Structures are given as C-alpha cells and as structure tokens.
Structure 1
C-alpha cells in the first residue's frame, strides 16, 4: 500500500489526469473530432461569427427560446435531418454540392451523422458517423431495417437490421436514373414517410430523370422533371405523385394527412393532390395535353413581385422585407408537436433563405382544397451567414432548425465554406423530457396507444414500427383489434385517421371496412377510404360502383377532388362513369383545382372513345372541362372526324352563348398554328346557323375556325373587319392575326395596305415575317422611323427572319441608315443561323467576333471584374442602366416587375454577386437547362426561327422566341436543328461601352438583398 501522503496526493493527481485524458480520448472518438475530411474552402468573406455569438441574434416571440444544439466541427453542411425511434437526430452532411466542373473533388465525400442528447439538456452529447462514403447526398431517412439516402443518380438503402449504427453491408441501389449532371439546387431531394407508408421525395426543374429499378429498360422507367414522387419499401413500387413547380425543397402533412410542399420563385405553397400538374417556372408539362396547370394554394407571396424601380431608387421600399423576406424557401414543417402553444399547431412553417427567418402560413379549408394565408414570422436571424435549410420537431416537441451557414447562396459562385454548419433548437420554455427512450422496445399494443399522443412525432414513429413488424410477418391481430376499437371509440376524426392509417399498413383484409367509411361523417375519413381502396392496380366492380354513387352525391369538394384524382389510377375505359358524375357539380366551376383534376383524369381516355367524350362535354356543368374536351378531340381532327362533327352539331343544340364559346374556343385552341385543316362535313351547316343566330363573340370564334377550314366567306369577312378603320381596334388586330395564320397573297396585300395604318402597323410588320416577298424589306425600312418602340423591335425581327431580308438590313446598318445597336445579340445569333458566308462577314464587320472560345470568355470575365470595381459601381448611374436593361434584357427577363418572362425572373436571383452575373451573361451556355436550349427551325419557305421548343403535338410545335411565342405547323417545317446553347445568346455586352456596362450592372445589382435590421450589431 502507499502510505506517504505526498505520494498519495501525487498519485491521485496523476490518476485523475490520466482519467481526464482517457475521457477526453473517448469523447474525441465518440464525438468524431478529427473526422472532418472536408477541405476548408471559403471566399474573401472569411469565416462566420462563432455559433454562440450568432445564437444571440434571434428575435422570437415572447416565451420562445432558441438554443444551440450543435455546431461546427461536430456538424458541417447540414442539408437534411430526420429522427429515429430513439429521438436521435440523423444528419445528411453534404460537401459535394457544388457544380462538377468548378468545385467537385473526387476525394470529397458526404456523410451521415447521428447526434444524441442523452441528458435532455437541449444539446447533443454523443456523436457517431454512420456512413462517410456518399456523394451528392441530399437526404436521409430511417426505417424498415436500415437507412435510406438520396445520392444522385441513386436512391440507396443501407441495411442495419440489428440497429447497431454500423451498416450491415454495402449500400444497395433501390432506384437509379436520377439526373446527376445538373448538381446545383434542383437536384433530387426529400425523403419523408407519408401516413400511407410510402417514402416520399422531391425533384427540381433543371434536371430530367428517367427513374426505375437497376436494370430497367427505358420503357419500364418513369420520367420526372419537377414534382413529387414516392417509393414503397415493401412492394418496391415507384410512382410519380405530381408534376410541376420549380425547386421543391420541403414538405409535410397536416393533422388530416394532407400534404403540402414548399417551392421557390413562382409561388411557395402547394397542396399535394396525386396526379396534379402544377404551374412550372418554365418549359412545358411532360404531357402536352394537360393544357392548363394548377396554381399555388397560397393567397400571397413572400416577396414583392411588383416592386418598381422608382420605389427602390428612392430607398423607401421594404415591401419584400414586410412580405416575408424573399422568394427562396427551404424546408417545411406543419407543427403537430406538444411543446409550442396550441395556437401554433397545424400551421405551416418554412425557412426563408434570403430573408433569414422562419415564415408562417396558416391553412384554411376552402372550396375543394385549401388556401394558405400569411402569418407572422416566427423568428428572424440577424447572423448574415444564416442559411436555413431544414426543420423538424422531435420527441419533446422542440423544433430542430439546420443552418447551412455560408456567406452566399448555394450556387457556390460566392461562398464555399465547407466546414461551417449549425443546428438550433426552438422551444417554448423548457420542454418536458421524452416519454420513452426507445419506442422499438414497446409492445404492439403500446405502439397502438401512442396513436393518441398529442405529439405527432410519437404517432409517426410508432406507425412506422407497426408497419415494419407487419412487413416482417409478425402476427398483428391484437394490434388490428385495438386499432379498430380505437377508430370506433374516438370521436375526433384526427384520431380516427391515425387508426385508419395504421390499419391500412398492417391489415390486408380491410376492403369491406374501408367501403363502410364512404358514409362516415368526416370528409377526411371518407377521402382516405377512397385513396386506400384505389391504391391497388385493379379496383373491383363493387368498389367502382360505390365510388360512382359517391361522386354523384358527395357534398364535400375535398372528397370530390380526390375522387377526381383516383380516376388516373383506373383503366381508361372505366373512368367515364366517375367523370360523368363529377361534371354535374356546377358548384365546382370556379374552383382553382377540381376542374383541372377532372380533366387530367379524363384526358387519357378521350383518344380511345371520343364519342363518349362529346357526351361528357354535353352534360358537363363545368365550362373548363367542356372547353378542354373540345380542344383534345379537335387536336386529332384528321382521325376523329366523326367526333368533331358531333362537337360542331352540339354547338347549335343550345341557345347558350357560354356553352357555344366553350366548345368553339377549345376547337380553335386545338387548331392554333395550323395553316389548313380538313373541313368537317357539318361545318357549312353549323357555321350558317351560328352566323345567323349568335352573339358577336361566337361569330369571332366561327370566323377563326372558318379560316383554318378554308372557308372563303370567313376569310372575306375578316378582311373587311381588318380594313375597316371605324371598327374596334382590338377586333381589327384579332382579325388580322387570324388572316396571317391562314396566309395567301390576298392577306399579303392587306398587310401592305395596313402598314401605314398607325393602329395596325405593328401587326402588319409582325405579319410580314410569314411571307417571302422582295418588296417587304424596303417597305419595312421605309416605315421604320414612324414605328413605336415595339414596332421597331418587330421590324428587326422580321428583317432577320430570312437571308434575303437580312442582306437588306445589314446594308442599311453598314450605310448608316440604321444604327448598329438595332441588331441585338439575339438578332446576331439569328443571322448566324443562316450559315451564309456573306452575311457572317458583314455581321462581323458590324459586331466583331461572335465565336469566342471558352478561354476567351473567361478572359473577358476577368477583364470586366477589373472594371466593375466597388468604387466604379458607386459612381455609376443605375437609372441609365435601367434604360439599357429595357433595350437589351427586358425582352426576356423581368426585373422589379418590368419586362417579359421568357427567361427567369431576375428580381429574386443572386444579383448581388458579380461573378454569378458575369458567368451567366458572358457565357450563358456554360450551365443551361434543356428547357432553355435553343433550336433552329427551318421552314419550307426559307424563314428561320430561333427559339426554345416548349410544346409539341402531332401537328404543331410551340416555340418561344425573344419577343413572342409562335405555334408552327409541322407541315411547313423543313428541319429542326437542336443547339447546345442557351436561349440567352453570347455577346449581349458586345454593343455596350465601358460606361454603359457599369450602369447596367449597377441597375442589375441594385437592392439585390434587403438590409435587415441590426446586421452590424449582431447580438447587441
């Protein structure tokens, strides 16, 4: 024994220090210190303020608290989070987010990290790296014996059957085909379990994916561009749920299981209805026959879409700040926890990326769906590096919020800080500790009981565990009995739904039970009974018959909406009875969603049975459905002559102007762009009867159809209207446009007469582009100085439409008759597409070189950076820049509510970053979506059109050009050449001098980010 007191003391100190060192080593290992393998990349912005300092800069309502759950180096680049049945936080850390050619490093890997708060003090104290071999990791979810990870091009399953946090083997590729070439922020993302037991995900607009199981052929795969998808973990099925929007990056479902997702730029809030086609930021829907798309369900935007330059210039506009902070949203949570006050429950919360805040929308049931109203923001972060990405609530009801923490946006031109990242926790006071440490240890009946818990975290986790046990083959009869009892005894439909969702996952013989719910007093229970019964590929006759009866009698618009949704799951020939029942509900005519959902369900059945579709149009009390049926049938006029004749006869069956207009407008929309179509047998009789008895609006539609059918009387009447200076100007313009679509020498003569008519001269100039006549260039140039700005732009469009016209135009510029600035970069590209040596030679004399290499463009960017210094920009004149923008950019872009939306709206883009602007302006083809790639369309009369093909049908293609959208008849198209070039041409800055460029950039970069309060007084 040691008897010396001094030695004992020294020994005790030594042992104490050794224990401290060993403990430190254990903590270092368990917390993962030293495991960061990411390069520390950052720009001149330096490093963020310390997380503890940033924590002081949150403004929250009274009673709320924000704490720091974790920060770098323990968590870095947190792009997605989820929780497991133990309440642990699983984090997807992404280091390979940048564009491949600029920042992607083959030695860089993403990873999945687990953080746990074992003592419930609001801070993590245990950390594990579960997997560090990922690349392009955007999402993580836990369940069904392992971990799910989205790593484009794959959806991976990493097995961990024993749940020891060590993968049982290599990741398994469950799905592949996700487009990995466009990495930015539109990559596939998501992963969240739905109440139906499917794993849901999202997809952005810049990539188009062909998704299937490994080894699937293209025909076995499903195409998705932007929208929502789902995968079933036990049946191995993959489905596209809905199409559209821009870049969805967050979704959740409310207390009744209705799912909502968040989006950027074109509207932030969208109600998920399976089979829906939502508005897109650009491009056409994958199905050309959807025709019209559903808008967002919010009644507001979180940024001022109509902010004017005058307001910005005066420095008094904070409307975007007041509206919610900006267009970009990431992460969505519908709070169903038990820590925040009851008034916050079942509301939507999302992170506003530029506004550095948590936006709040509250939902109202309205019509057949929902409307989202703007609520008061929950918090504002003063840290200028705050970049909120994801948010979820946990077992104690507190809300985890991830912070990407960077100086710029996630495009990586302006901020590449790979070692920063924070996770905050938002609570109301001090939350109660979780009720259980590990839900997996509970019995089946205990998990059933948790379906009644106020905190939906317990509900969702226990439902997943019950599903897993049933999928493993375990006898779930006791759980089924308890759930049915719960369903009967509970009076709150949200609790009944929880039982219903579980029963659907664990009870395979529930068809009769579900049919019984068709008469349930709750619209939500009836809705989910319909959804579950229509999940299988084959709906039995008894169920189908009851669904049709339900569609006729159903009083709830929401249930009718989902009945319309289910039509797309039925074989085409079985959809008609359901459709015929739904279209009798005239009260749905003004609904923003239901008429289109009925159409989406019917559309696929029309080609096989057009006569049945005519009957549907006849009985429909919903005008939009009538019009779209007429459009779809007439689009197949050449093969559906009998049905088209029936449509025409139907227009005279009622003395109802609205009914007639619906059918005639639909037919005209179908034939838009076609020079001539075969005249139906019933046309002459129909047109005569309508002309004798109908309103002027009906006569206009009849004449338009007559022109396409080659009816000489209609052409003569339109010519008289166009030439009648006493007639209404809009009627004259409409008549002239219709005549131009028909063509012919007589129409050309009318155009020449109207060139000197001030009211119609612009239309005449536009119409000349459709004709190959040697007099036209001289006529247009002779009238040029008398035209208004729009007319002058149209004149240059016309003079660059054909090689012969272009020669005359270039000669006028060379001689000084026209200023060289009239030829924009768009026109220069159009002229080059003729591939005429003499035209190219003269163009280069005027413009200079138009074939810069990538290296030359990089040199130009560096040169412009040296010019566009902060000192020079302060001295520049943004008001002059606005004028330049109007001439060079506004034909395709909107900024502060002014311009045209051919290309992206610039108001909310990353305009504060000079590198970002220069890359996209000087070298627009460096990173371009397929939806902005240009095609060169050669017409058989020598005309050439440059533009983006946005829609194709068997008879026409729709092309978006700089100034308009053209519908071209395929019979007139000689060749379509696809170019690997952006809609925005090279050389936009070529015609500008140094001062003009500085003024333009001063305007483009104005008010790019609104100054938030106390940016320079963080934490004070």
Structure 2
C-alpha cells in the first residue's frame, strides 16, 4: 500500500476470534448514518455502489478478521487472508498480537449462503509481520513477508501449517510496503511475483546472492537492473529470471492464460502518475534513468512537459510505454478475470483494487499494434464510506469476485489508524448462491475440466495433475487445444509443450490462425528452447512480430540479426511498443542487428520509422546518423531534442567526438544546435580555444533567462556572465530558478555585484535578491544574509527579510540561532527572529528558541479532532491559509512548491480526520520517498532534506522550500536518517483554531 501522511486514531481493541460470527450484511437503520453507525459491519454494503447487474454482499468482517492486506481463494472456495495487526507495531505497545505475531486466516462458508461461518488461524508467529502476499497452491501456502518469502505446508490436512521453509530472503526491510509482494501461479507452471523499489536485492533460501542465467547480479545496482522488478522462477525458486524492471512500487503481477503479464505501479506521492503496465519481457519501465539511476525529477535533455509522464522517463529511448495512466492513487492487488459469471465487459480483463480512490475497477484492453490501449470500468466503489480501502481482489471457483477491504481512514503507509476492522466482500450477479464443490481429479478428463476453472488454485491442482500424468493426459489436452475458447487452448498448449514431443505442438501452434495462440507458442518455444528460424518475420500481426522480437533477447542464433532487420523494416514509425520490442530484441547484439538493418532499402513508406530506429539504437554506428538527423536543414533543433538525449546512452568516449563535430556545422539554426551540444558535452572535453569560447558565448544567448543558461554558466565556470545572472534573478522573482541563479552567481565571483545592488536605491531589487539568497541556502548566501542582518546601514525591512530568509534551511536556522545565542543579533530584529525560530521546523533549534523566548508558555493545546470536525470551515479562507502556511512546501493545483507530497487530490484519499492528524502529528506518518536525511559535508556544512535521486557519483537532495542541491558523494562525510518529518510539528498551533479548520476544509475539497 502507498505511503502518504497518516495519523493515529485510537479505537478499542477487538481481537478476532477463531470461530467467526456470521456477518450481517443488511442495515436495519433508516435514513442517514451517523459516523459510528457507518463503521458497523452491518452497514458496510450500504456505503458502497455496485455496478449495475451485480450485487455486493458482506462475506466476513471484524471481529473474525482485521486489517486484511492480501487474499487468495482455494479450490474449496475458502478465502485465505494475511492480516497486519502488527503493521508498524511499534505504535501499538502492549497488544497481545505484538508478541504472538500476525495471523494467516482461513474463512469458510459452510452452508452456501455467501457468508463466512468459520475463521481458522492457519498460522500465527512473529515471523509473520504485516505480510503483503499469499498464494495457496494445494497444501502449500506461499507467504510474502518482507524481507522473507516463506512456504508453509499442511502435511496432514488439518488446516494448520506443519512445516515452514524459506523460499527467498533479503528482500528489503521488515514491513516495507515497497518490497516483496504476492506470488501467482502462471499458465506455464512457474511462479511469478514482484517487488517494489525497496526490494533492492534478493537472496536464495540459504542467503546466497542470486544471479541471472548470464551471471548478472539481480539487485538494484544498475547492472543492468534497477528499482522494482518482476520475476519468474520454478516452483522451488530455482532459475530465477527478471522479467522486467525499473518500477517504483509494482504491487502485484497478474498473468493471463497466454502468458501476458499485467500490473499496476505506484507513483511518488502526489504526482498523479499511477500507471497500469502491460509487460514486455525484459523491458525497462523508466522509473529512474537507465544509465545513471537519477530520479525522474532530475533535469535532463528532452524532459516531458507533464510531471505524470516525466515521472516515467517516457521520452527516453529504451523505456516501454505505459498502458494507462490513472492519475493519483494507491494501487494494490490485481487479477485477470478469466471467468464468465461477471458481465462481458469484465471477462478476460484485469480487475484491480485502488484504495486511494476507494474503488475496484477493471481496465478493458483493446489490441493496438504491438501493444494495447485500455479504459476504466468501475465494479465496486464507495458511495459514502471513504474508509473503503480495497487491498486485494480474487476470483472464486464459481467465478464470483472477492474483495479484501483494509477498511481504514488512510491508505497504508508508515502507519495504521484503525487496528480492529476489516471486511471481505463477494461481488456476483444478484441472487447468485455461493456453492463450491472441490474439483475431482481422478482422470485426465477431470483435470482438464478443472483446468478451465477461473480460480487459480484450482488450475494449479489441475495443471499439476496433468503435468504429472505426462503422455497419458495428451489426448484430453489435445481435445482441449481444439476447443473454441482461446484461453482454454492456451492452457492446453502450455502443458502439451512440456511433453517429450512438445516441440511438435509448439511448431504447429506457431502457424495457428489465432494470433494469441501464436504468441503463446513463441513464449512456450522460448522456455523450451525450441527454435523456429524466420517463420514469423512476415507474420501479419504486429503483436506476433513484437513477441518474436522479444524472444530474440540475447539470442545466439546465427540468423538472428537478419531476422531482426526484416522485423525492423516493418516498423511503421508510430507503434512505440513495437519500437521498444526492437530495442529489447537487439540488446547485447546491436552492432550486428543494426548493420543487417542498414543493408536493407530505406523505409520509403514510413521514413520516420528509420529515424526512430536510429534514435533507439545502442551502437556507435548510429551516432553519425543521429548527428546527420540533427543537421538536416528542415529539422528544428529545438523540436528534435530527443536526438540529443540519445547521446546520453553512449559512453563519453563514443559520443564526445560526434558532439564536437556538431559544433562545426552550418545549419540555419546552428547556434541552437551548438547550445544543445554544449549541454550534452562533458566540460572537460571542450578544447579551450578562442573559437570554442566564441561558439559557447553565442550558444548562451539561445538560453537567455532559462535554466539551461545557468546550467551552461555553471558547467563551464563562466565568470563573464554575472550581470546576466543578476538580471535573471531580478526578472524571475517568483521563478524556481531564482535560487539556482543566485547560487551560481556567487560561485562565479558575483558577490560584489550583489552587494552593490543591495546598497543601491532600488529597494524592490534588494528585496528580490534577499529572497533569492534564502532559496539558495548554501554557505556563501547564508554568510551574505548574516552580514546583511548585522549591518544597520541597510534598512530595517530589508534586514527583517534577511532574517526570515536565513531561517529557511537547516544550517540557516543554526546560523540565526547562533546570532541570538552569541548576543550578536541587533535588537531591532528580535521580534522577527523570535517568530522565525520558535516556529522552526528544525526541532533542536526550535526547542532552544522556545526555551529562550517563551520559558513560561505552555504549548497551545488543540481540542480533540472529533471536536474540530464539528466546527464549520470556510473553503475560500482555507485556500488563503494554505498559501500562507503550506504553499512553501506543497502543491495544490497550480499553487505552491513541489517539495513535499502534492496535495492536489488529497481529499480523495484522506478523510478530514486523517488530514487533521497529518497536520497535527506529521512525525506519525512520513511518506515513503520523503524521509529526511541529514548530511554532514567535509567542508563542515550540513544539509537536511529528502533524497530525490542518487547516482554512483552524486545525491540530489531537495530541501524545504523546494530548492535542490546535488552533493558529490566524495564530499559527504556522513549521512544519517532524520528522526522527524520535514514538515514542521508546530504548524497546527502556529495558526488560529479557525484557520486550521478552514485549511482542512479546503484540503478535503481537493478531489479528483
């Protein structure tokens, strides 16, 4: 579940019993519900809206279960749940489950009325600590509980775990939501699973580092894998493969009958970039820079215009496109529904829990070229109850849909609010009885019948029976293969492919009239090591050709480059899925593939297609062609930045000579080409000649008043541009580049110029310069602010502003307090300094300041949240309060600074009570990715902020107010986690009670 600001809500503790009370799913209350009534299980369904033609019933609830994080349904129709009472259990001292550990529960409906009658504890122990995944495979249960994956076995059928084994270990930290997630059984008989970007690495059961088949480390080290990953392995954990990588928090992978993989991926909080992925095997999904590992917010050539797309590096060659971007959210469990009980719109489609939007929905897909397009169709959503938090979905043997509801005011994260509640719902056509008979598996015919079931646990048993039967099951599988249902046919093909004569079935399927069967056959051939030459290079289906390209990944077949070239010649210049499949297929073999392709005639029908292939290539042979594209007279360099970006994916020794050559061109807009080339060149590679200096000076004019101008000045250490930098600061007073320009100006020896303007008669200019110093917050700017504060030659309002701007950063607070402590602060600044320091977000300085200025003052006490909720708020005034207190660190719409999590849709995620608690107790729940770090630098200076990204050489740190600083790792003396939120703890008491109420009213109104 997604990390956002949370809160503490104290409620009575209710321990779930082993014998369940049958839930009541019908409300007996007339009229609107009170807050307390809305929380009762008997009113649970009343707060939900179900898709027309379907009915939602309550299957189970508290006290039988609590805090369900993940779910599976076995062949008997029993619902298995992982609970997380101990989620962030350090917040719940003294509760008995803290010692006993979390539970794995089995819920069963004995009389077929669609309601659980019993709740059994399958296993409970401290090793199960907020598990996030469960997969039931016969008498074995795979439980994902970071940092471990366990296999529990019930050897005697008493619904109790008799044996516990490790499958994998070393995956992220304890209870990390961005680490290991659930396993699923694939149609090929293998396990599929994923971990998020805190998984980092994976060890085998014995603690050994795992490498892939080519000897490459499977870890977030960029060799080549990065961030979150999808895996496939045998049932015993052997032959682990990375199927795709570079996700943020990919929560659960779903695999359909053809072997297609689908999943959701969570964005950095507040960036409205949640996405749904169709997975190209071995694809890079772009959360961080492929080469350097830099985060999406780090500036780069050809950055996307919109943050939701910039978030995934979608303009970069080598990044697979997103199937669908769904805005804000907190995506959780997913299945592919391959049943026929639900309406047709949901059949054979992804179904997904989205607790951030209180909804369960499907994403019906349509084929498009080598990929898909998708839409959104809601199944179950909150009508009035914002606590509905669907954490997982599952398909029962009868085809009904089950939904696990975490049921909480918030959406996971670093804390849980409600410890006692949790619900399981069943969604099916109205009046549908829940009758499940366990599968009969006596014969191959029985097993084939079970293989058709929409329930994965049932299919696992059927697959295992048929696989073990070997050739004796062949006849029944052949009959299934010739059915009219493509998904049944695919399931049969997977098993037929594993017979001794499986290659024959694969080769027959490669010629099948159904493109999905041909795609399945390609995947089966890849797993079985069956070769098929060039028989698919002219396939009429771009999706089949895409899959043929993916199967070429690291191929050693002699005819592979020629076949790749023929497939590349069929690219239409529009299908990004196909283009990325070309890149994946050529990986490690680009030189031969590119050479074979260049020997073919140009693509006259789609000339832009050739340009794309040059852009996507990773061979030195493509670099001169990139330069030629840039130098075409008809091409506007500023509209073709993508070609310049492509140079970043080559070693400098290969790209530098070509970039230097670009500087000697004669394009009508040569200065623009030069400007972009200078951006891409390493500063040390530039010849220090008069000619180059002139070219660089001319190129600077292209970027005047833009961030790129400052980049070039700083990169090449130009000391003759100080006046221009100064004007940039004065012309862009509210712009984010203001602090960057000031920092660069002082680095380039511009302090005398700044002091001269401060002493001049232009008061407005002086005020702008002081604001810029506060945004910069480096040592030269802090020293200048300190000198300004102490020098009474300057007018008092300017010095007051200097005091406020000094008190904006970690070191700035310390510098300002030092003036007070050492009695060096001029008396006329005492009032403003007191205000700054007693409201500082740096806790140690704030404590000292309060003790110094207000020793007798007791902290202002706020009434309980429930009383604040009863006070009417004013949205327009709340917007003004936001601008005054919050906009320096948060975005709401187009207002504010992109430092902390954006709040543009916070009202869709959190209830008012949750928003109150997030403001009043910011330390209680810190968004993942926004944890503070304290850096001590070797020059004695200090930096506090969160890590936006890091590469092998530097760390990009964002400080309060949104200013960023890149720290060279060689300059860092130490780094440690900051124990507090970067959000000030005194914010709620800094404003009046009514202002707080108005602020919450405004934030609660910010919805999708």
Asked whether the two chains share a fold, i.e. TM above 0.5, the reply is yes
Structure 1 residues 900-979: aligned runs within 5 Å: 900-909=897-906, 912=911, 927=926, 929=928, 932-934=931-933, 936=935, 950-951=948-949, 960=958, 974-975=971-972, 977-979=974-976
Corresponding residue for residue 427 of structure 2 = 426
Contact conserved, 2:579 with 2:613, CA < 8 A, in 1? yes
Matched, 1:138 2:145: no
State the shift of 1:461 in Å: 4.5
Measure the CA separation in 1 of the matches of 2:332 and 2:490: 28
Corresponding residue for residue 297 of structure 1 = 323
Contact conserved, 1:409 with 1:415, CA < 8 A, in 2? no
Q: Any idea what SS the aligned residue of 1:175 has? A: strand
Contact conserved, 2:808 with 2:960, CA < 8 A, in 1? no
Q: How many residues align?
A: 906
Measure the CA separation in 2 of the matches of 1:29 and 1:906: 39
Q: Any idea what SS the aligned residue of 1:775 has? A: helix
1:340 aligned to which of 327, 339, 342:
342
Corresponding residue for residue 528 of structure 1 = 520
State the shift of 1:944 in Å: 8.1
Corresponding residue for residue 146 of structure 2 = 152
Q: Any idea what SS the aligned residue of 1:866 has? A: coil
Matched, 1:275 2:288: no
Matched, 1:476 2:454: no
Matched, 1:448 2:455: no
Matched, 1:811 2:787: yes
Relative distance call for 1:736 and 1:837 in structure 2 (3 A) is closer
Contact conserved, 1:935 with 1:949, CA < 8 A, in 2? no
Matched, 1:507 2:499: yes
Contact conserved, 1:189 with 1:201, CA < 8 A, in 2? yes
Q: Any idea what SS the aligned residue of 1:401 has? A: strand
State the shift of 1:177 in Å: 1.2
Matched, 1:177 2:177: no
1:98 aligned to which of 83, 88, 91:
88
Relative distance call for 1:785 and 1:556 in structure 2 (3 A) is farther
Q: TM-score when scaled to structure 1?
A: 0.74
- 1:405-464 CA-partner distances (Å, limit 9, x unpaired): 34554458673332x333222221333775x7322543123212444x4x523xx44542
State the shift of 1:235 in Å: 5.6
1:621 aligned to which of 609, 617, 633:
609
Matched, 1:82 2:67: no
Contact conserved, 2:466 with 2:495, CA < 8 A, in 1? no
Measure the CA separation in 2 of the matches of 1:880 and 1:707: 50
Relative distance call for 1:961 and 1:600 in structure 2 (3 A) is farther
Greater relative contact order structure (CA < 8 Å, 6+ sep): 2
- 1:914-970 CA-partner distances (Å, limit 9, x unpaired): 677666787659857467544649699x99876655555567665555677879696
Measure the CA separation in 1 of the matches of 2:405 and 2:378: 21
2:360 aligned to which of 358, 365, 381:
358
Contact conserved, 1:94 with 1:137, CA < 8 A, in 2? yes
Corresponding residue for residue 328 of structure 1 = 330
State the shift of 1:508 in Å: 5.4
Contact conserved, 1:911 with 1:1004, CA < 8 A, in 2? no
Matched, 1:437 2:437: yes
Measure the CA separation in 2 of the matches of 1:787 and 1:810: 19
Measure the CA separation in 2 of the matches of 1:683 and 1:914: 57
Contact conserved, 1:721 with 1:735, CA < 8 A, in 2? no
Q: Any idea what SS the aligned residue of 2:99 has? A: coil
Relative distance call for 1:931 and 1:880 in structure 2 (3 A) is closer
State the shift of 1:156 in Å: 0.9
Measure the CA separation in 2 of the matches of 1:974 and 1:617: 52
Corresponding residue for residue 25 of structure 1 = none
1:778 aligned to which of 733, 749, 755:
755
Measure the CA separation in 2 of the matches of 1:965 and 1:573: 53
Corresponding residue for residue 367 of structure 1 = 369
State the shift of 1:984 in Å: 6.6
Measure the CA separation in 2 of the matches of 1:644 and 1:792: 49
Measure the CA separation in 2 of the matches of 1:32 and 1:875: 41
Corresponding residue for residue 214 of structure 2 = none
Measure the CA separation in 2 of the matches of 1:797 and 1:50: 50
Contact conserved, 1:117 with 1:123, CA < 8 A, in 2? yes
Structure 1 residues 554-633: aligned runs within 5 Å: 554-566=539-551, 568=553, 570=555, 580-581=565-566, 583-587=568-572, 589-599=573-583, 621=609, 623=611, 626-627=614-615, 629=617
Measure the CA separation in 2 of the matches of 1:248 and 1:554: 33
Gaps of 5+ in 1: 1-27, 35-43, 304-326, 634-641, 1013-1020
Corresponding residue for residue 980 of structure 1 = 977
Measure the CA separation in 1 of the matches of 2:980 and 2:245: 24
Measure the CA separation in 2 of the matches of 1:110 and 1:834: 48
- 1:17-43 CA-partner distances (Å, limit 9, x unpaired): xxxxxxxxxxx9984689xxxxxxxxx
Relative distance call for 1:836 and 1:771 in structure 2 (3 A) is farther
Matched, 1:743 2:722: no
Measure the CA separation in 1 of the matches of 2:21 and 2:600: 68
State the shift of 1:172 in Å: 0.6
Relative distance call for 1:679 and 1:519 in structure 2 (3 A) is closer
Corresponding residue for residue 848 of structure 1 = 837
Relative distance call for 1:671 and 1:1004 in structure 2 (3 A) is farther
Contact conserved, 2:51 with 2:380, CA < 8 A, in 1? yes
State the shift of 1:668 in Å: 6.2
Measure the CA separation in 2 of the matches of 1:656 and 1:598: 27
Structure showing the higher helix proportion among its residues: 1
Q: Any idea what SS the aligned residue of 1:520 has? A: coil
Q: TM-score when scaled to structure 2?
A: 0.75
Matched, 1:198 2:177: no
